[in-house]
Structure 1
Amino acid sequence: MAGETILVADDDRAIRTVLGQALNRQGYDVRLTGNTATLWSWVESGLGALVITDVVMPDGNGLDLLPQIRKRRPDLRVIVMSAQNTLLTAVKATEKGAFEYLPKPFDLSEVIDCVGRALAFSPETSSQSEQPSDGEKLPLIGRTPAMQEVYRVIARLTATDLSALITGESGTGKELIARALHDFSKRKAGPFVAVNMAAIPKDLIESELFGHEKGAFTGATSRYAGRFEQAQGGTLFLDEIGDMPMEAQTRLLRVLQEGEYMTVGGRQPIKTDIRIVAATHRDIKRMVQSGHFREDLFYRLNVVPIRVPSLRERKDDIPDLVNHFLSHAVDQGLPSKTITPSAMKKLKDARWPGNVRELENLVHRLAALYAQDDIDVDVIEAELSDQQNILPDRNTPNEGESMSEAIERHLRKYFEAHGDDLPASGLYAQMLKEFEHPLINLCLEYTDGNQIKSADILGLNRNTLRKKIRELGIPVIRGTSKRI
């Protein structure tokens, strides 16, 4: 709302200047300071409709000021900025009452949008969960924008019991995300129970999830407490939910709808008090469309979607990850190692089809097998070469691969090879043309150049097909092709 006064506190003069100018252009009255003392005096005097504050400042910590602001002026919204772009910072900012957390460097348009939302927001008093102690270990590593978005989603969920569906490639750390959701939630004192749906035989899934009574089936010699019972009061993590059989999906949906279940062979319903977090590396929306996953169950699980980026999307995190894994290797009794700058660059340029798990395994292998303290680029090249010889190439066809998956695989290869040289505009039209040429050419080949039959197969008007043949320069030769 133009005309409102905004209080900005940051010890970096350049940031204060940029924010002041940007907000002034939007019609706001801006007060700038480089310390928490002045900010607090403004707040105490009733000045300002919104606070934007850094975390680390010369005379204090912006986060420590949040409880005081909430107590003194509960309606005053606070936006927290920080260069300490960790999950813990995001969670603490949220738990202490910040309206939003913005990692540095930030986009000015994002700041302006956030200011508008904060000023239009009608605050409601809500209880915050107990903040984690400073001694807690950081559960996730990464400062790139892709990981910052994951942190912000986790931080917003700390005081809720909403179900979440975590998606991402194998090896990206989906279980770490699930554990973070539990560890920073109000259920953190309860159990975290993880079950991999792909690892359970289909005929045992119901017993594994819901438990069974003694004598319920052959071999049930005693009562078994299923995963729902084990997770009571905490979080149940259903990994690889896309591998759950349809019959089990139906029963899981009923449990989520009714809040109770029965053990196999049981007669009394059992009330359930757990939070469900699910994960999959599959395209679950496509499974819904193809009828392999229940749509109603998808919506029950996908209340909050969290997409975990691949390592290829966050390569600037690789140095932090490598150093973390090297430190972890030392904790396990392996010798201390360092990675030379040229070797680190080689690691950042690698493909990483196995994502963070592949990187972790490589770093531990470097620590265990090499005598030298400084790992140089020749070692990395040799290791990566060996891995490429044994790991499946993401660009080779997979058994049972759909056409959409095959196209995505080839497009991914194109983007990885030309990411820095993509055209400023017109890529869609270019890709469409690249796709049309082989599709029409192959269809004509398999119909012996019969344009009428090809048009029917492609679902095109015959005149449209002829026009495309001319535009794409496709030769039409009869009698040399396979037939459909």
Structure 2
Amino acid sequence: MLTSKLLLIEDDSEQQRDLRVIFDFLECDDVSISTTAEWQAGAVDFAAVQTILLGKCGGDKQRNKLLAEIQALDEDIPVLLLSTESSAAQLDALTSTDSVLGSVQLPASHSQLTRMLDKARIYRESRRTEANERPVTLFRSLVGSSRAIRQVRRLIEQVAASNANVLILGESGTGKEVVARNLHYNSNRREQPFVPINCGAIPADLLESELFGHEKGAFTGAITARQGRFEMAEGGTLFLDEIGDMSLNMQVKLLRVLQERTFERVGSNKSIKTNVRIIAATHRNLEERIAEGEFREDLFYRLNVFPIEMPPLRERSSDIPLLVNELISRFEKDKRGSVRLTPAAIISLCQYHWPGNVRELANLIERLVILYPYGVVDLAELPEKFRIQGINMAELGGRDEENDDDEVPGDSYRTAATLSPQLPNENFDLKEHLSNMEYNFIKQALEEANGVVAHAAKRLNMRRTTLVEKLRKYDLQRGDEATNF
């Protein structure tokens, strides 16, 4: 069933009959059909309606009045306008309203109506997420359930409460700052500042002033005294990102601060005591930099008290479905739109090598939200480089642009069994991968169903008793208070 509690307001009885045939074909089981007069007489239970299709309503003036009444009752309810070729141009002003998601050209094709109903459903789900104010604290939660990310969480738990210096290693875009913020949030310094600085983004001659501050007149342009990052982070955590790009001269000065716990502002000889925890991060191999004479060995050992290595995304591809869900939730929370991905699209993303890691994934999701607002993105809609190579698009249920109107609803939701992907890496563990995928999809289905197991089972197309067994297997049966047995 593509949607539920759908309301069609249409005064043309012939058009009502034609649309009823389409709704039956699409298995829309919960559809109410009303006229303008019935609607105004209160014959419709508006509280139960999730999506409205607005047809001929006695002219543009009457339709404008009806739309205003609908939005007065619920400004977030999605509205789709039914239009003919002659009236399509007159809908531009109406579709500028946020809740009016667009128009359905009459006579309606199955594929167009399917996409628009999906768009309305996704819009409604995203608005419900905003209304519930579900917290999306991506910086606090290391998203994923793979073995590698669980190891990172364990290391964070072990070292967070101490004051030991931590060195976070990993490729660019893997989420090293996420780890740093987790360390700060779980430490006894969490009520104090967390101050980040990218050592590679600041010129070497300005980095000293940025870290330690300066006095008035210390150099040209220093018209006032200024605090540095060490003073800003007093009592809290200083995150030195891309420490491997720091010049040797600054490395000497930083080493002294770590040893003496004091520093001086530029242009001053007054020592300032500091109480900050240092967390450093780099994408470079510091041991190679030491061998090349580009990084001090003594500073390396000062920083490398407790190393944490953040795995690249290609080595934890089973986390991608959960990451996609979390990133979409962030866009919904920020009221920047929403989107949904089909299983074929998700599996294709799981096979991509992700040179930009999580940052590249976040950029992709943002692009899809812009290109397909409140839409369903199938494999064909992904940018070309993210698609699985050597796979027949028809086998994945991708849309054929030349025969779009003849598409059978549901084809774009073929299961992953039709795929023939390549193994992601040499250490690929199929059992763990499938287990993590199943866990993530079950958890997502429960969230969408507000914890109601019967609804989640229907969403996953499985028996309720089977889902209950899997919830016990993954220790989810009572883990969430919203889970309703």
TM-score, length basis structure 2: 0.51
Question: Where in structure 2 are the equivalents of 1:312-331 lying within 5 Å?
Answer: 312-331=314-333
Contact 1:347–1:380 (Cα < 8 Å) also in 2: no
Task: Quote the Cα distance in structure 2 between the aligned partners of 1:174 and 1:278.
Answer: 9
Which letter maps to 1:163?
N
Q: Secondary structure of 1:194's partner?
A: strand
Q: Which runs of 5+ in 1 are unaligned?
A: 1-133, 387-413, 422-484
Identity among equivalent positions (%) equals 50
Which letter maps to 1:330?
E
1:135 is displaced (CA, Å) by 7.5
C-alpha spacing 1:197/1:236, structure 2 compared with 1 (3 Å): same
1:159 is displaced (CA, Å) by 1.6
| Higher RCO (C-alpha 8 Å, min separation 6) | 2
Q: 2:358 aligns with which of 344, 352, 356?
A: 356
1:382 is displaced (CA, Å) by 3.1
Q: Secondary structure of 2:324's partner?
A: helix
1:42 aligns to what? none
**CA offsets 1:299-322 (integer angstroms, 9 cap, x no match):** 000000000000011000000000
C-alpha spacing 1:331/1:420, structure 2 compared with 1 (3 Å): closer
Question: Where in structure 2 are the equivalents of 1:178-197 lying within 5 Å?
Answer: 178-197=180-199
Contact 2:143–2:323 (Cα < 8 Å) also in 1: yes
C-alpha spacing 1:357/1:420, structure 2 compared with 1 (3 Å): closer
2:448 aligns to what? none
1:334 aligns to what? 336
Q: Secondary structure of 1:199's partner?
A: coil
2:262 aligns to what? 260
1:371 is displaced (CA, Å) by 4.9
**CA offsets 1:259-289 (integer angstroms, 9 cap, x no match):** 1011111121100100000000000111112
Task: Quote the Cα distance in structure 1 between the aligned partners of 2:213 and 2:333.
Answer: 38
1:110 aligns to what? none
1:198 aligns to what? 200
Q: 2:236 aligns with which of 221, 225, 234?
A: 234
C-alpha spacing 1:277/1:417, structure 2 compared with 1 (3 Å): closer
Q: 2:380 aligns with which of 359, 378, 381?
A: 378
C-alpha spacing 1:273/1:345, structure 2 compared with 1 (3 Å): same
Q: Secondary structure of 1:334's partner?
A: coil
1:373 is displaced (CA, Å) by 2.5
Q: Secondary structure of 1:198's partner?
A: coil
2:142 aligns to what? 140
1:5 aligns to what? none
1:247 aligns to what? 249
Contact 1:166–1:279 (Cα < 8 Å) also in 2: yes
Task: Quote the Cα distance in structure 1 between the aligned partners of 2:162 and 2:187.
Answer: 7
Q: Secondary structure of 2:240's partner?
A: strand
Which letter maps to 1:363?
I
C-alpha spacing 1:219/1:366, structure 2 compared with 1 (3 Å): same
2:284 aligns to what? 282
Following superposition, which runs of at least 4 residues in structure 1 exceed 3 angstroms of deviation? Answer: 134-138, 414-421
Q: Which runs of 5+ in 2 are unaligned?
A: 1-133, 389-421, 430-485
C-alpha spacing 1:264/1:420, structure 2 compared with 1 (3 Å): closer
Contact 1:214–1:223 (Cα < 8 Å) also in 2: yes
Question: Where in structure 2 are the equivalents of 1:149-188 lying within 5 Å?
Answer: 149-188=151-190
Q: Secondary structure of 1:261's partner?
A: strand
Which letter maps to 1:222?
T
Contact 1:346–1:380 (Cα < 8 Å) also in 2: no
Task: Quote the Cα distance in structure 1 between the aligned partners of 2:135 and 2:370.
Answer: 29
Task: Quote the Cα distance in structure 1 between the aligned partners of 2:154 and 2:425.
Answer: 31
Contact 1:346–1:381 (Cα < 8 Å) also in 2: no
**CA offsets 1:353-379 (integer angstroms, 9 cap, x no match):** 100010111112112211562211111
Task: Quote the Cα distance in structure 2 between the aligned partners of 1:353 and 1:420.
Answer: 18
Task: Quote the Cα distance in structure 1 between the aligned partners of 2:366 and 2:330.
Answer: 9
C-alpha spacing 1:299/1:289, structure 2 compared with 1 (3 Å): same
1:381 is displaced (CA, Å) by 5.2
Which letter maps to 1:323?
N
Report which stretch shifted further, 333-342 or 159-168: 333-342
Which letter maps to 1:241?
I
Q: Secondary structure of 1:267's partner?
A: coil
1:473 aligns to what? none
1:300 aligns to what? 302
Which letter maps to 1:174?
K
TM-score, length basis structure 1: 0.51
Question: Where in structure 2 are the equivalents of 1:35-114 lying within 5 Å?
Answer: none
1:215 is displaced (CA, Å) by 1.2
